[in-house]
Structure 1
Amino acid sequence: MSVNPELVGRDFPPTAPYLVGREKVREFSRAVFATDPQHLDPAAAQALGYADVVAPPTFAMVVQDLTLQQLLSEPDSGIALERTVHAEQRFRYTRPIVAGDELTAQLRITGIRPFGKGAMVTSEAEMMDAGGAHVVTATSVLLIGGEDA
C-alpha cells in the first residue's frame, strides 16, 4: 500500500498533556550537548527570567513524537515504520519550553509529495501550554519508501 493521499489536511486529536520535567530537560540537554547553564541550573534560568530550566530547542521533538506515533499507527496511512526515514525537521517558537510546562500537541498533515516509489509526508505539530497559548510549531518531513524500495 502506498501513502494515502487523503491524509493531506487531516487533523489528529490533541495529545494527552505532557508535563515537562526538570530532570527530563537536564537529561535531554546533556544528550545533545546543550551545556549552557539555563538548561541545567534553575538559578541560572531564573536569573534570565524563566521559572525553571529552559529546554534546548530540539526538546520539542519529545512532544512531537507523541503526534507522529498517532500518524504511524493510523490504519489507512500506508506508512510503514520500517520504510520511514525522518528527513527534515524545523521549529517555530513563540517562547521557549520550560520545566513545569504542560504541553499538548495536535498534528496536521500538510503535504504529501510523490518521491520515486514512495512519498514525502510533511506534518506540523502545534504545541500549546495549559492556558492554550502557542509555544512551538514543529514541522517534520518523513520520507516513506515504496514497498519495492
Structure 2
Amino acid sequence: MLVSVNPELQGRTLPPTEPYLVGREKVREFARAVFATNPMHLDPDAAAESGHPDIIAPTTFPVVVQEKALAQLLAEPDAGIDFSRVVHGNQRFSYSRAIVAGDELTATLTVSSVKTLGAHAMVTADTVIVDANGDHVVTAISTLVVRGDE
C-alpha cells in the first residue's frame, strides 16, 4: 500500500477550535509531567516577580491547545491520514509572548506542506494560537510522518 495522504491538503486552513481556557492547575500538571522546575511554572508569586500576571506555561505547553486542531485535520474526510500509521516527526514553536494561566486560546491550523518520500508522506501543519483579543501568542509547527508500506 502506498501512502494515500491527499496532496490537496496543502494550503488548507481549518476552522478555529473552540477556546481553551488555560487553568493554573493544568499548567502545574504539565510542568510536573515534563520536569519543568522553573518556579514561574508553579508559583504565582515567582511569576509576578518576573512581571507575569500568573504562572506561565512551559514552552511545549501549546501542544495541549494544538491537539484539538490536529484532531480536526485527522478527521478531515478527504485527508487520507491513517492515524495508526502516524509518527510525530518534528515540533517547533514561535512565540510572541508566554502562555499565562487564565489565557483563553484559540487555534487555527493551516497545512503548510504535504510531501511524499517513497512510500511515506510528511504533513507539516502550522497552528496559529491567539488569545481572546485575537493577538498572536504562539505558532506551533508540527510535522507528521505517515508511514506507508515499502
Q: Shorter chain as normaliser: what TM range?
A: over 0.9
Aligned to 2:18: 16
Alpha-carbon displacement from aligned partner over 1:120-145 (angstroms, at most 9, x marks no partner)? 00000000000010000000000001
- Aligned-residue offset at 1:60: 0.5
Matching residue of 2:134? 132
Take 1:65 and 1:116, find their aligned partners in 2: how far apart are those partners?
A: 27
Query: What SS does the corresponding residue of 1:58 show, helix, strand or coil?
Result: coil
Question: TM-score, normalized by length of structure 1?
Answer: 0.97
**Residues 17-56 of structure 1 correspond to what in structure 2 (within 5 A)?**
17-56=19-58
SS in 2 for 1:104: strand
Q: Which runs of 5+ in 1 are unaligned?
A: none
1:130 maps to a residue whose letter is A
Given that 1:2 and 1:118 are in contact with CA atoms closer than 8 Å, whether structure 2 keeps it comes out as no
Q: Cα RMSD over matched residues?
A: 0.8
Q: State the alpha-carbon separation in 2 of the partners of residues 83 and 117 from structure 1.
A: 12
Offset at residue 118 of structure 1 (A): 1.8
- Give distance in 2, aligned partners of 1:8 and 1:113: 9
CA-to-aligned-CA distance 1:70-101 (integer Å, 9 cap, x gap): 01111110101100000000000000000000
State the aligned residue count. 148
Question: What is aligned with 1:143?
Answer: 145
| In 1, Cα distance between equivalents of 2:119 and 2:73 | 20
* Gap runs ≥5 in structure 2: none
For residues 48 and 2 of structure 1, the distance between their equivalents in structure 2, rounded to whole angstroms, comes to: 49
> How far apart in 2 are the matches of 1:18 and 1:36?
23
Q: Which residue of 2 aligns with 1:98?
A: 100
| Paired letter, 1:28 | F
